[in-house]
A and B are shown apart, each in its own frame.
Chain A
């Protein structure tokens, strides 16, 4: 007989929904996140899917909290499996323990996968399909939602509203069936001891957003002034382009679909040459195709933004999973000496800030800016605080019609390195942009003097630019001499680990680099003052970030190195363990 247990409410819990063959798990997860947001909670949802286009196995992983979250949890409290088909695929991604509750489909209780059967979880079986059949038009995923809502203490009104909003477009019958399914799920959980209830959400509905990293990147680009995009689809970047297509049109911009990445990057350059801030988005294999043209943009000094939503590499790799292994290519992948900008967002919210900043930098410096996002940010959805308005807008230094008798020199050797760029349509300063090395006028030149002048100019304009304080984010215990050095999506887990440490004896601080190229060498050296113990954290196999630090920031000392490739995410527990079990001073 199951006894009710009273447990204190927690500040954060995590739910996984799995199912296959059209069971609508991802939709259910999204509804759950939306309901939680309405109830005043924060949350983060990631998803994992099999390789099938439809009907494949899927898992929605939803973490909910009373405060903003930015990482996958160390373990999950609740798993609801609408069926057991191929769930083994997700075994590594949903750590469970004896405190976790797993509700599976009783009709298939013999098919429980090995990793569940051997994991000491608390198990309870429910025949979702049978219950769904009892409702006219009922669906198992709605029943699961009702179960989850009841177990975690999600206010009924919030879940009901989210369900209705999501299902409304399918008509009143579907809405009624869904509501009935949710109710049935709730009822089935009467007397079920919950694995965890979430403390009441108190966050204001106003001033919070529900957004994915890819959407945030697109929004940041538009905020920054991008009004032309050339698009070629690739996982996991396509959502940026799909979001931007109608968005740009609404604000007076436009988008064109290209035949391949060789075309999309060149189109982006063409649009920018015409005076319009321009952007494209891709992933590793696409970036590889784009490198020649990115070099052209460097040499001809045309501003562009390229978002690389990194995925598992090398080559075709693991398209729907995350990794940080395009760092080498982003920094070193262009022919010749080709200074350019590389920045990296460190959270879903930061995708907006960093992309907007990238637009500003590219336009101000007249050079390509690569934004290294990744799949774990791009395709995850989170409830975030509304991002602050920023002053970072596209502000290109353009040329005016020269005085009579004066000649316009597009690539004049000015002190800042940033020479005014004529926009087509401006009389008197027509010029030919060229990938060939050139004189200050822009005429192709093979002269040593011209080459040196232009190399120095292109170097100087990126090196001497004032990037302000945004080169990195830092946090944790400011007095600590244990420093974690990281970048990109690893930052979320690091932040959470340090927050958890606050209650203990050990502490640490972190530095997460946002500006990777030009390397903020002096700033980093200053920030590392007093660091006794340095831990470098990255998601690659070959240690690309550590190599970058050694090559570009003068880092010579010994470090501890948490270096693991994708596809599994970094979890706060990994970092906590590293800090606690590490060397004592």
Chain B
């Protein structure tokens, strides 16, 4: 470090945690995700005031308050448009978006597709536990068809939503999957996702200890994808055809330029605009 610059103390992961105590159940994968996010932010040395975490509604969506950055806990399913408006108006900020599988893929499904297509520079982290936890255990779009619940006794019988497939088809510029049981690996994915321009999507398998105790065996089911990420959509699509939902790692890194209508580059005054109406 140069001696003639004022050295700000380096930020560590702990500096990004707020003093608000999470109410997640002990054993919840989201604790690990929170830790991974703070590790990623520390690795990037982003000033906390230049970061915003935007969420919808659900257990995962509680996360903005637990991070010592700006945040917005919005309404169910609308985290992506909220984040899009913020980023387009304030491209200088780093904007993270946090959702669960219900919030993000059910009510938020439409926004998911369009956010991927629009390719604004956002990092979208979905904590997927294949259940609606906050409302006490209903099937979500990623729930297995044979999972028994009060709302769908015997299982829904409906094929699950495949987030990575949708993300790829819709045009997401970075696609990855991680597992909350590997917080450092997940921190790496999140760091890469933030660094990668455009719409970055990271699905994090994050077990729900209360409504999906069966997910305790996820740690034996996840496996690192043994291939390097590809920038070829066709190749990524073929990989997804044999994806069992437990491959972890970066699937796809695209080259699309992020969508960002320029801001702050005035070429006229308000009076100039008014001239158009003058006779």
Which residues on A are within 8 Å of B, measured CB to CB? Answer: 37-38, 205-206, 208-211, 215, 219, 222-223, 227-228, 230, 247, 249-256, 258-260, 262-276, 278, 292-293, 296, 300, 383, 386, 422, 424-436, 442-444
Q: Is the CB of A278 within 8 A of B85?
A: yes
Q: Is the CB of A222 within 8 A of B73?
A: no
Q: Within the complex, which residue of A250, A262, A270, A275 is in contact with B84, where a contact is CB–CB below 8 Å? A: A270
- 21 A-B contacts (beta carbon < 8 Å): A205-B279, A209-B278, A209-B279, A210-B277, A219-B274, A222-B273, A227-B263, A228-B88, A265-B81, A266-B75, A266-B85, A267-B82, A267-B85, A269-B74, A270-B84, A275-B89, A296-B74, A424-B90, A427-B49, A431-B70, A432-B65
Complex-state Cα separation, A270 to B85, whole angstroms: 5
Distance in Å: Cβ of A144 to nearest Cβ of chain B = 23
Q: Is the CB of B278 within 8 A of A386?
A: yes
Known interface pairs A219-B277, A430-B71; 11 further A-B residue pairs with C-beta atoms within 8 A, sorted by A's residue number: A206-B278, A252-B264, A262-B78, A263-B78, A270-B54, A270-B81, A274-B86, A424-B49, A425-B49, A425-B93, A427-B48
Complex-state Cα separation, A515 to B267, whole angstroms: 35
User: Does B69 count as interface, using CB distance less than 8 angstroms?
Assistant: yes
Q: Within the complex, which residue of B20, B50, B81, B272 is in contact with A264, where a contact is CB–CB below 8 Å? A: B81
Chain B residues with Cβ under 8 A from A255's Cβ? 261
Q: Give 1 or 0 for each of B39-71: 1 = CB within 8 Å of chain A CB.
A: 000000001111011100000000011001111
User: Does B2 count as interface, using CB distance less than 8 angstroms?
Assistant: no
Q: Is the CB of A267 within 8 A of B73?
A: no
Q: Is the CB of A211 within 8 A of B277?
A: yes
Q: Is the CB of B93 within 8 A of A433?
A: no
Q: Is the CB of A271 within 8 A of B70?
A: no
Chain B residues with Cβ under 8 A from A386's Cβ? 278
Chain B residues with Cβ under 8 A from A258's Cβ? 81, 114
Chain B residues with Cβ under 8 A from A276's Cβ? 89-90
Q: Give 1 or 0 for each of B99-117: 1 = CB within 8 Å of chain A CB.
A: 0000000000011011000
Chain B residues with Cβ under 8 A from A210's Cβ? 277, 279
User: Does B153 count as interface, using CB distance less than 8 angstroms?
Assistant: no
User: Does B269 count as interface, using CB distance less than 8 angstroms?
Assistant: yes
Q: Is the CB of A256 within 8 A of B88?
A: yes
Q: Is the CB of A273 within 8 A of B277?
A: no
Q: Give 1 or 0 for each of B250-279: 1 = CB within 8 Å of chain A CB.
A: 000000000001111111111011100111
Q: Within the complex, which residue of B71, B88, B261 is in contact with A249, where a contact is CB–CB below 8 Å? A: B261
Q: Is the CB of B274 within 8 A of A252?
A: no
Complex-state Cα separation, A435 to B82, whole angstroms: 13
User: Does B72 count as interface, using CB distance less than 8 angstroms?
Assistant: yes
Q: Within the complex, which residue of B47, B53, B75, B90 is in contact with A435, where a contact is CB–CB below 8 Å? A: B75
Q: Is the CB of A270 within 8 A of B48?
A: no
Complex-state Cα separation, A433 to B74, whole angstroms: 8
User: Does B83 count as interface, using CB distance less than 8 angstroms?
Assistant: yes
Would you call the interface of chain A mostly helix, strand, loop, or mixed? mixed
Q: Within the complex, which residue of A209, A259, A433 is in contact with B72, where a contact is CB–CB below 8 Å? A: A433
Chain A residues with Cβ under 8 A from B87's Cβ? 270
Q: Is the CB of B92 within 8 A of A425?
A: yes
Complex-state Cα separation, A386 to B275, whole angstroms: 10
Chain A residues with Cβ under 8 A from B268's Cβ? 250-251
Chain B residues with Cβ under 8 A from A251's Cβ? 266, 268-270, 273
Chain A residues with Cβ under 8 A from B54's Cβ? 270
Complex-state Cα separation, A236 to B81, whole angstroms: 24
Complex-state Cα separation, A432 to B263, whole angstroms: 25
Would you call the interface of chain B mostly helix, strand, loop, or mixed? mixed
Q: Within the complex, which residue of B49, B85, B86, B110 is in contact with A259, where a contact is CB–CB below 8 Å? A: B110
Closest B residue by C-beta to A216: B277
Q: Is the CB of B279 within 8 A of A262?
A: no
Q: What are the nearest 3 A-B pairs in CB distance?
A: A270-B85, A267-B85, A432-B71
Distance in Å: Cβ of B46 to nearest Cβ of chain A = 12
Complex-state Cα separation, A273 to B83, whole angstroms: 10
Chain B residues with Cβ under 8 A from A223's Cβ? 270
Q: Within the complex, which residue of A208, A222, A259, A435 is in contact with B111, where a contact is CB–CB below 8 Å? A: A259
Known contacts A256-B85, A270-B86, A426-B49; A222 and B262 CB within 8 A of each other: no
Complex-state Cα separation, A210 to B93, whole angstroms: 40
Q: Is the CB of B274 within 8 A of A266?
A: no
Q: Within the complex, which residue of A209, A254, A429 is in contact with B89, where a contact is CB–CB below 8 Å? A: A254
Complex-state Cα separation, A444 to B62, whole angstroms: 10
Q: Within the complex, which residue of A230, A383, A432 is in contact with B73, where a contact is CB–CB below 8 Å? A: A432
Q: Within the complex, which residue of A37, A274, A296 is in contact with B75, where a contact is CB–CB below 8 Å? A: A296
Complex-state Cα separation, A206 to B89, whole angstroms: 36
Q: Is the CB of A256 within 8 A of B84?
A: yes
Distance in Å: Cβ of A92 to nearest Cβ of chain B = 32
Chain B residues with Cβ under 8 A from A230's Cβ? 81, 85
Q: Is the CB of A208 within 8 A of B89?
A: no
Closest A residue by C-beta to B107: A262
Known contacts A211-B277, A254-B263, A300-B72; A428 and B49 CB within 8 A of each other: yes
Q: Is the CB of A292 within 8 A of B89?
A: no
Closest B residue by C-beta to A435: B75
Complex-state Cα separation, A435 to B85, whole angstroms: 17
Known contacts A210-B277, A430-B69; A228 and B85 CB within 8 A of each other: yes
Q: Within the complex, which residue of A263, A270, A425, A429 is in contact with B114, where a contact is CB–CB below 8 Å? A: A263
Q: Is the CB of B70 within 8 A of A432?
A: yes
Distance in Å: Cβ of B19 to nearest Cβ of chain A = 10
Q: Within the complex, which residue of B49, B50, B263, B277 is in contact with A252, where a contact is CB–CB below 8 Å? A: B263
Q: Is the CB of B85 within 8 A of A269?
A: yes
Closest B residue by C-beta to A253: B263
Q: Give 1 or 0 for each of B139-154: 1 = CB within 8 Å of chain A CB.
A: 0000000000000000
Known contacts A250-B267, A425-B49, A430-B49; A268 and B73 CB within 8 A of each other: no
Closest A residue by C-beta to B266: A252
Known contacts A222-B273, A250-B272; A271 and B89 CB within 8 A of each other: yes
Closest A residue by C-beta to B47: A427
Chain B residues with Cβ under 8 A from A293's Cβ? 74-75, 78
Q: Within the complex, which residue of A256, A425, A431, A435 is in contact with B74, where a contact is CB–CB below 8 Å? A: A435
Chain A residues with Cβ under 8 A from B118's Cβ? 256
Distance in Å: Cβ of A145 to nearest Cβ of chain B = 19
Distance in Å: Cβ of A522 to nearest Cβ of chain B = 35
Distance in Å: Cβ of B215 to nearest Cβ of chain A = 27
Q: Is the CB of B70 within 8 A of A424?
A: yes
Distance in Å: Cβ of A239 to nearest Cβ of chain B = 13
Complex-state Cα separation, A215 to B273, whole angstroms: 11
Distance in Å: Cβ of A567 to nearest Cβ of chain B = 28
Closest A residue by C-beta to B274: A219
Q: Is the CB of A260 within 8 A of B110?
A: yes
Chain A residues with Cβ under 8 A from B88's Cβ? 228, 254, 256, 267, 271
Complex-state Cα separation, A465 to B79, whole angstroms: 32
Known contacts A219-B273, A259-B110; A249 and B89 CB within 8 A of each other: no
Complex-state Cα separation, A296 to B54, whole angstroms: 14
Q: Is the CB of B75 within 8 A of A270?
A: no
Q: Is the CB of B111 within 8 A of A263?
A: yes
Complex-state Cα separation, A208 to B275, whole angstroms: 10
Chain B residues with Cβ under 8 A from A37's Cβ? 279
Q: Is the CB of B64 within 8 A of A432?
A: yes
Q: Is the CB of A292 within 8 A of B75?
A: yes
Q: Is the CB of A431 within 8 A of B71?
A: yes
Distance in Å: Cβ of A568 to nearest Cβ of chain B = 29
Closest A residue by C-beta to B264: A252
Chain A residues with Cβ under 8 A from B72's Cβ? 270, 273, 300, 432-434
